[in-house]
Amino acid sequence: MREFVKEDTQWLDLGCGHRILPQWLREEQTSLVAKCRRLVGIDYDMDSLMKNEFIFMKVRGNVTDLPFKNNCFDLVSSNMVVEHLDKPLAQSKEVYRILKPGGIFMLHTPNIFGYTTIISRLIPEVLKVPIISFMQGRHEKDVFPTFYRMNTIRKIQQNAKQAEFKVKRIMMVNSAAQFVMIPPLAVLELCLIRLLMTRAFKRFRVHIIADLEKI
């Protein structure tokens, strides 16, 4: 984010929710917001918009039909949102439309081959809300449908090509342990995370970060 957020950056956070970055990155988030020229947040969920204290220019809207003119943003960020897109190609084209030439679409999303995503997809829908509430402290209204239609390197590359983006960079990354509330599982998870740090298991890391450039 520091690489792309400059003093003259016109920045849109797509699906901004309650915050741009995780709570433990609060200081970094404040610094980034203060640095850019203008930051706009868009989300369809009004409650999330109202709770976001970092973004002052907020819009309730849908990514399928973004309420912005062509070529008006230098950066569009998307943190844990792409997995919720039901029509990722059409929606990526909308992002392309509102970016200036040379602008960046930066996305952070789960890897469909990551263990957390695999476990999540195996859990029956009726159990997901109570489990997420216990593990992450999220309320039912903050749990949204997931489609995982752009959640592999190959899918991101295909989608980018069809939407006319240039793939600038794709990184496979791990997250912190998710099972800290269950100590026996946490130990196993930490061992698994260590294994995923090796080159041989890189493709199974839990998250993908991609930087797509409008040519």
Domain carrying residue 33 = 10-116+142-174+207-214
3-class DSSP state of 14: strand
Tens digit of pLDDT at every position of the chain (215 positions): 999 999 999 999 999 998 898 888 889 999 999 999 999 999 999 998 999 999 999 999 999 999 999 999 999 999 999 999 999 999 999 999 999 999 999 999 999 999 999 988 887 766 666 666 655 665 655 567 899 999 999 999 999 999 999 999 999 999 888 887 778 888 999 999 999 999 999 999 999 999 999 99
198-206 long-range contacts, Cβ below 8 Å, gap at least 24?
Answer: 202/172, 203/111, 203/113, 203/153, 203/172, 204/111, 204/113, 204/114, 204/115, 205/111, 205/114, 205/172, 205/173, 205/174, 206/110, 206/111, 206/114, 206/115, 206/116, 206/117, 206/173, 206/174, 206/175
pLDDT computed for residue 137 by the predictor: 61
185 within 8 A of 179, measured Cβ to Cβ: yes
Residue 169 lies inside a defined structural domain of this protein? yes
pLDDT given for residue 145 in this prediction: 83
Identify the CATH number of the domain in which residue 97 sits. Answer: 3.40.50.150
Residue 108 forms part of a structural domain = yes
Q: How many domains does the chain contain in total?
A: 1
Token representation of residue 135: 């593990």
